[in-house]
Structure 1
């Protein structure tokens, strides 16, 4: 068994004017500075998924759409996930919800954490994500990173436009905790699955 979990950083917004790339690259840098995980960015822009229109979840029957199958193969390669979460009207983006719905088996018994951004740091969206994750038989970390309030305004390009390094002192403690928890759960679920096999 590979002891180093493979972690996907999934960018959950596809808007042309999205802010998501900034937190995605920042959390990637934090993860790459560690020696206990391998990370890769997965951008939903690279996966032109239709709105879910299969006969059933791929738990019950194989998906027919080639993009859905490619998405399932992509996310299935990983042992855990970091979702980059924007908050739209108190929830996650439609693109991220659709991407979650397009797979099922691939998410099962794998952990995830999140880095959320927006006026309230995407706290409500991350809470919705956790509920969806439970239904997909995933394990949520307790900690998540939230870029909100004055920090969000300081780094957003339409407001302060400062580099994210100027606010990272307030992000680093929760990022470390979230990544520590993610690795712990990834190793635990990997070991449990290996024992079952």
Structure 2
């Protein structure tokens, strides 16, 4: 079984990332080849990234970062749910990626983005960031429009086609996670 962490990538009041992430988890729960769990950044309050050395050289000794690292290390793959803020990802999500290094390696990811234009610019930015920590991002992604998939920009009501789009993305994440299994080493909590 592939263990997928569905990361709710915003901690902002009034966010929709948690609702969208639970929706992805519900769709993933129907699969026989994977399990999905919500990984909410609100449950992992991290400071702003301000380490003296990058985590590739010296892992953090902060307890909150070590707990976050253990959560990431325990998973095989990810789906990142991100809103688009000013053409990019939320700072909390960027910090969450930046605090770790080895824990991310060879674990594929899918992207679910949302915003006025589907959050596509945030998703493209996140692809670049994840590439630096050796997270291959699958081609298929889910883009949710605040106009079409949220009633009056508030209530999440995805179009009927979106579940199939999530399924396609999850198919790719699971396939990549299986293919990369031999490259992932069991992670010791540092």
Normalised by the length of structure 2, the TM-score is: 0.91
2:112 aligned residue (112, 115, 125): 115
* Displacement over 6 Å in runs of 4+: none
2:162 aligned residue (153, 171, 174): 171
Q: Which residue of 2 is the match for residue 191 of structure 1?
A: 182
Q: Which residue of 1 is the match for residue 22 of structure 2?
A: 25
Q: Secondary structure at the match of 1:169?
A: coil
Cα-to-partner distance string for 1:109-163 (whole Å, 9 max, x where unaligned): 1100111111111100000000111111111000111111531343632xxx3x5
| Number of residue pairs aligned between Structure 1 and Structure 2 | 185
Distance 2:184 2:63 in 1: 28
The worse-fitting range, judged by mean Cα deviation, of 174-183 and 147-156 is 147-156
The structure with the largest alpha-carbon Rg is: 1
More strand by share: 2
Q: Which residue of 2 is the match for residue 135 of structure 1?
A: 132
More helix by share: 1
Q: CA deviation at 1:191?
A: 3.2
> Which consecutive unaligned segments of at least 5 residues does structure 1 have?
none
1:1-197 matched pairs, under 5 angstroms: 4-148=1-145, 150-154=147-151, 156-157=153-154, 161=155, 164=157, 167-193=158-184
> Which consecutive unaligned segments of at least 5 residues does structure 2 have?
186-190
Normalised by the length of structure 1, the TM-score is: 0.88
Distance 1:19 1:192 in 2: 34
Measured on the aligned residues, the alpha-carbon RMSD in Å equals 1.5
Distance 2:99 2:183 in 1: 25
